Amino acid sequence: MKRIPAISLCLGLTALSPLTVQAADANPVVNRDKVSMCIGCHGIPGYKTAFPVTYNVPKLGGQHAAYIVKALQAYKNGDRTHPSMRAIAAGLSEQDMADVAAYYAAPAAKAASK
């Protein structure tokens, strides 16, 4: 039952973050706020998380935006089953997915994700 608190934490962060802000276009600069909850896992050197087990976390910076959106949709609709990412993606709207994807696809994110 170790999983429950960490999942709640993820959901809590989702609820608290300014994800309801709607942007007209995907804007990688404004979207820095939206990725604040992703950094805890995706910003770790070596790309590992300790939850639910020590797990390699894929690098997002520099990936194609369309790939990131597709991956997030797959977590949301259940095609991908990783519990942490399913909880995260469940709280993202289509606009949020486009925005975080634009952020991570931008050259600045590539540099910052080293």
Min CB(54)–ligand HEC separation in Å = 10
Q: Does 71 bind ligand HEC (CB under 6 A)?
A: yes
Determine which helix (DSSP H) or strand (DSSP E) holds 7, and give its type and residue range: helix 3-16
Site string for ligand HEC, 14-33 (x = CB under 6 A): --------------------
- CA 76 to the chain's CA centroid: 12
Determine which helix (DSSP H) or strand (DSSP E) holds 48, and give its type and residue range: strand 48-49
Q: Does 109 bind ligand HEC (CB under 6 A)?
A: no
Among 11, 23, 43, 49, binds ligand HEC (CB under 6 A): 49
Min CB(38)–ligand HEC separation in Å = 3
Closest CA to 106 of 27, 21, 24: 27
Closest CA to 6 of 55, 43, 46: 55
Among 26, 72, 98, 102, binds ligand HEC (CB under 6 A): 72
Residue 92, number of CB atoms within 10 A of its CB: 20
The set of residues, in sequence order, having a beta carbon less than 8 Å from that of 77 and lying 6+ positions away, is none
Q: Does 106 bind ligand HEC (CB under 6 A)?
A: no
Would you tell me which residues interact with ligand HEC (CB under 6 A)?
10, 35, 37-38, 40-42, 49, 51, 55, 57-58, 60, 68, 71-72, 80, 82, 84-85, 88, 100
